[in-house]
Amino acid sequence: MKNMRIASQKSSEELKTRAPKRQRGHDRVVVLLEAAARVFARKGYDAATMTEIAAEAHSSIGSLYQFFPTKPLLAEALHIDRLERLKAGLRDLAERSAGLSAADGGEAIFDMLAAFIEEYPELSVLAGRRDIPKERKARSRAELKELIANVLRQARPPISDDVALMSGIVLELLRIAVVVASEPEAAEDRRVLAELRLMLRRRLEEAASES
């Protein structure tokens, strides 16, 4: 019985010491990811180095490699984090945009993306990587498309018949918007994007009237 009590006490002590270590590890990962975001946004993915990211995080290169052994793994972890935040924004938008017209819902999606890219400029860099895992890319695309479809389903009148097509078009335009955001001097591209938004608005109005 005494041995059981001692074992139980040791177990409790181990749990108590493990929790702060896990929290410290989590906090360290957050610091490293945010440092990577700043370096990627400033220098681009290809030009950024792990040494620069470690310095930005005021960390040793060994500590960075402990959590992220390669730059692609670091970029992928950051990309997933940003995508999760974007998906959360679309879920929130679906709730807030209930009752809007489909065209206004489409505009709201673009407005939300513009604000998101302003807050997280590294997204355009991460989205342009050539080493994005294909399976994750396909999965993320399907998830984003469904979240956009949810916004359009909340419209009044809702889009039902063409919702898959319309959400696919919106997603493609969002992809173009992300590319344009990475080239701030491409004024002509921004004009094209404005025209595409106008075309989308008209197409959403047509789809709503046909549903």
The CATH number that domain 1-69 falls under is 1.10.10.60
For residue 42 the two structure tokens come to 């400033």
**Please, what sign has the CA dihedral across residues 110, 115, 118, 121?**
negative
Task: Say what the pLDDT of residue 35 is.
Answer: 98
Task: Say what the pLDDT of residue 11 is.
Answer: 54
Per-residue pLDDT of the chain (211 residues; tens, 9 = 90+): 555 454 555 555 554 445 546 777 788 999 999 999 999 999 999 999 999 999 999 999 999 999 999 999 999 999 999 999 999 999 999 988 888 998 999 999 988 988 998 899 999 999 999 999 999 999 999 999 999 999 988 888 878 778 889 899 889 888 888 877 667 565 566 777 788 888 888 988 888 887 6
What is the enclosing helix (H) or strand (E) of 46?
none
Residue with tokens 């005021």: 58
User: CB count, 10 Å around CB of 41?
Assistant: 18
Distance separating alpha carbons of residues 17 and 40, to the nearest angstrom: 35
Residue type, 150: N
Q: Where are the domains of the chain?
A: 1-69, 75-211
Angle between helices 187-210 and 163-181 (to 10 degrees): 170
**Please, what sign has the CA dihedral across residues 90, 95, 96, 99?**
positive
Q: What is the C-alpha radius of gyration for the chain, rounded to an integer number of angstroms?
A: 22
CB 33 within 8 A of CB 78: yes
Distance separating alpha carbons of residues 93 and 114, to the nearest angstrom: 14
> DSSP assignment, residue 158?
P
Task: Say what the pLDDT of residue 206 is.
Answer: 87
For residue 164 the two structure tokens come to 């898959």
Distance separating alpha carbons of residues 98 and 41, to the nearest angstrom: 34
